[in-house]
Amino acid sequence: MILYSIYFFLISVALLLSIIVVRQGNKRFISILFLLVATLSVEILAGVGYWLHREFVWAYHLYSPIEYLFIATFVLTSTHNRTTKNLIAFSVLLYMLFSISLSVFVYHFLGMPGINIGVESLLIFSLCTYRLFNLEATDKPIFLVADFWICIGFLLFFGGCSFFFAVYTPLFKTSVISALSLFGTIAMPLNLLLYSLIIIGLLCLIPKRNSASQL
């Protein structure tokens, strides 16, 4: 329960920072803002569904293609190569068709979309690896570059969870309690790390006041 409280707190902080960042003119991060809104909405819905003993896994079938859309858009808007932009845009269309088809014809929106999330994880891992290798040269050190922290967060989360989500679906069918327990053991710490790194990245975009100028 404590970990889940921290989880919701980190998402909320990241969402608040993304709103501030976008309002300050960093329009490219609007995709991160939308991603955080979607994430918080789905997690609240899942939490309510779990406590009320109502079906909620269908929400993750809708969330997976939406999540990939926003993360891919985040990488696409930082890319200047036309061919790469087209490939990323094509991958979004292809994955959305693949994910929705799998949810409708294979899962019927009844089980956790393990295959969907596994394929999405590989795609996001590839996109973020590409982004890290193509960071723009600036006068700022790497640890002050927002994209560095955000992409590292996605890499660690989706890289670490790719195997977990592959076994999550059959485990979820066998025992919901066991599946959620495994999620708390493996995926939850990675989730906390992901949103902590997103927060660090967003903080890099907020102008720091020069204390010397205040004297």
Whether residue 166 lies inside any domain: the answer is yes
CA distance linking residue 140 with residue 138, whole number of Å? 5
User: What span, in angstroms and rounded, lies between the C-alpha atoms of 82 and 52?
Assistant: 48
Range of the domain at 166: 2-205
Residue 1 has a pLDDT of: 74
Alpha carbon dihedral 176, 66, 81, 28, in 10-degree steps, equals -110
pLDDT in tens, 58-89: 999 999 999 999 999 999 999 999 999 999 99
Q: How far apart are CA 189 and CA 95, in angstroms?
A: 27
Domain count for the chain? 1
56 is written with which tokens?
């909620």
Residue 111: inside a domain, yes or no?
A: yes
Q: Which pLDDT value is given to residue 180?
A: 61
* Segments in the chain below pLDDT 50: 211-215
Residue 172 lies in a domain: yes
Asked if the structure places residue 212 within a domain, the reply is no
CA angle at 169 for the pair 166 and 174, rounded to the nearest 5°: 130
* 211: in domain: no
Instruction: Find the helix packing angle between 146-174 and 188-203, rounded to 10°.
Output: 160
**Is 214 within a domain?**
no
pTM score, two decimals? 0.90
